[in-house]
Amino acid sequence: MLKQRFVLDTTALTDMQAREVMGQPELCEGMKAILELIADARLRFGISCYVPYPSVYKEMYEFASHNSCDRELMAKIDTWLVKKSPDRYRVDVTSQIFHEYVSHMRERINRGMGVAEDAIWEAASQCLFLEKPGSKNKEMKDEIEREVIGSIIGKFRNKYRAALRYGILDSAPDIDVLILAKELDAAVVASDYGIEKWAEQLGVRFVPASTFPMMIREYLKHGPGKTGEIRELEKKDLEK
């Protein structure tokens, strides 16, 4: 069987749907369960899962630390994920990709500017309506900040993210995942729409993080012998 290679984004381990597939909705235990599956696939089929180093590896480490995951999780990441720095100087990317990306970013920036302008107009209009005869300046200022500006800023942030960030590569780890996958002729595993969109542009295979555990289970199910994880799943099915 042809050995498969995968390059993992942080979302490959943290995606909620992927953890639910593993029966582990809790973050740290869900990440461990996915890594156990990766370990079985590596030992039985030689399937290799890479993580860009240091960018995505550091992101995974910080994510685990901020969520109070124990050292066992980091030990599994170090053991079963292959850390590799992408060769940014030797991986060829056509000029057409850069041309499309620049055009795409210009469009997104203009959309973000439009969202900002709408928020400014809304804030100014609401402030005018709040003016009351005889109100003290400080009271007016507090009321405007509380009832108008704070609410509009909250809506602005949500709309700005949707207009500008959704569907683009907005971090160095995102780019490293794609470059490493291109270099290794591997599939990308992520739940990031920006990575998915540009993987298609680069001709890189893409596997949604939510279906990745099921894919690995299929390999294990049809291979010689059965892992403890597969036997446990079959036992649960019989008990239903």
What CATH code is carried by the domain that includes residue 73?
Answer: 3.40.50.1010
In a domain, 224, yes or no: yes
Q: Number of structural domains, the chain? A: 2
Statement to judge: residues 70 and 175 lie in one domain: yes
Which of 165, 191, 207 delimits the end of a domain?
165
Say whether pLDDT at 32 is over 90. yes
In a domain, 90, yes or no: no
CA dihedral 194, 200, 202, 204 (to 10 degrees): 100
In a domain, 49, yes or no: yes
pLDDT for residue 116: 83
Say whether pLDDT at 229 is over 60. no
Statement to judge: residues 113 and 230 lie in one domain: no
Statement to judge: residues 13 and 81 lie in one domain: yes
- Decide which of 138 and 10 is more confident: 10
Say whether pLDDT at 77 is over 80. yes
In a domain, 211, yes or no: yes
Say whether pLDDT at 213 is over 90. yes
pLDDT for residue 1: 47
Q: What are the CA-CA distances from residue 27 to residues 163, 168, 227 (Å)?
A: 29, 26, 23
Write the pLDDT tens digit of every residue in 132-176. 555 556 666 666 666 667 777 777 777 877 777 666 776 789 899
In a domain, 190, yes or no: yes
Statement to judge: residues 147 and 131 lie in one domain: yes
State mean pLDDT over 67-96: 92
Say which residue the tokens 């599994």 belong to. Answer: 76
Statement to judge: residues 81 and 197 lie in one domain: yes
Q: Which amino acid is at 176?
A: D
State mean pLDDT over 12-34: 95
Which of 114, 137, 165 delimits the end of a domain?
165
Q: What are the CA-CA distances from residue 178 to residues 93, 181, 187, 188 (Å)?
A: 11, 5, 9, 7
Statement to judge: residues 18 and 130 lie in one domain: no
Q: Using an 8 Å Cβ cutoff, are 42 and 223 in contact?
A: no
Cβ burial of 58 (10 Å; 0-12, 13-18, 19+) is middle
Statement to judge: residues 50 and 69 lie in one domain: yes
pLDDT for residue 117: 78
Statement to judge: residues 159 and 175 lie in one domain: no
Print the domain residue range for 128. Answer: 95-165
State mean pLDDT over 125-136: 60
Say whether pLDDT at 120 is over 90. no
Statement to judge: residues 41 and 100 lie in one domain: no
State mean pLDDT over 1-14: 88
